[in-house]
Amino acid sequence: MAKQQDLPNIDCLEETRKLLRENFLADSRPWVIAYSGGKDSTLVLQLVYEMLLTLTPEQQKPVHIISSDTRVEAPNIEEYLQNSLIQLEQHAQTSRLDLAVHLVKPEIEESFWSLIIGKGYPPPNRWFRWCTTKLKIKPVRKVIDDITSGYGSVILLIGTRKAERSNRSRQIESRQYNSRGLNQHSEIPNALVLQPIMHWSTDDVWEYLFTHNPAPWNFDHDRMLALYRQANSGECPVITDLDTPSCGGSRFGCWTCTVVKEDKSMKGFIETGDEWNMAGA
């Protein structure tokens, strides 16, 4: 554990921890954490997990981790995410946390190749980005809808930050927040959204992950850091609405992506000598 003076922006860190704890204990709504395996969602998950480990059994409530596998992810990204989720689930069980892991995938009939070859869909493009809805939004929404049907509503945690890009900052500022810092999800009627690292800088995110490595579920961040260096990119987030941009270009995305002219992350993996076994893929 790093000393406090070694950490960036202590006030921001403590405010985030306070925000998480107060919201968690404020009501009985289950929490749903969108986890892509990238730096921002990893930070959100780690801060929540660290908080859960400090709570008494009476203070615990259901927490769901949702990750998305489009079935056409880069093999090294898919392997990394699956290993992280397995270790997370095992550690949560050992720690007796009320935590469930969901790795969602599109149904076979709505998979990329079924729609392209079987139903004759055109390749996704900027004007008809059907892949986002079919491969990402629908599988994630199904899990969230199942959870809300049992509990009435949920709080969805995402790793959105103002510092990511100017249009993302404008979207954040345009939303209506209640006294707890929550806003209504634009497309899921029974979901409130919490963005706990909204004010963190990119440097703050990396500094925390560097100084708190491995994660509390004993998963080493080094592989994630290596993937970023190889791809020179950011993660493809777990998408729950169409306001989120596509994952092509400089992001970890589907290897089949036709929305962009060049998959820079895949090019970076190849140029740095990353290898994987496609047997059984």
CB atoms within 10 A of CB 132: 19
Query: Which of these, 64, 43, 71, 72, lies nearest to 204 by C-alpha position?
Result: 43
CATH topology of domain 4-226: Rossmann fold (3.40.50)
Looking at per-residue pLDDT, the higher value among 114 and 8 belongs to 114
Average pLDDT, the chain: 80
Which helix (H) or strand (E) is 129 found in, with range? Answer: none
Sign of CA dihedral 226, 227, 233, 237: negative
Structure tokens at 148: 């809300």
Which tens digits make up the pLDDT trace of 72-85?
777 888 888 999 99
Query: Which of these, 125, 130, 134, lies nearest to 105 by C-alpha position?
Result: 134
Which tens digits make up the pLDDT trace of 14-38?
999 999 999 999 999 999 999 989 8
Q: Is the pLDDT of residue 232 over 60?
A: no
Any alpha helices (H) in 53-152, and if so which ranges?
Answer: 75-94, 112-113, 130-131, 138-151
Q: Is the pLDDT of residue 105 over 80?
A: yes
- The model carries a pTM of 0.79
Which tens digits make up the pLDDT trace of 164-190?
655 554 555 545 676 688 988 888 888
Contact criterion met (CB below 8 Å) for 233 and 254: no
Percent composition of the chain: helix, strand, coil (DSSP 3-state, to 5): 45, 10, 45
Structure tokens at 266: 């895949």
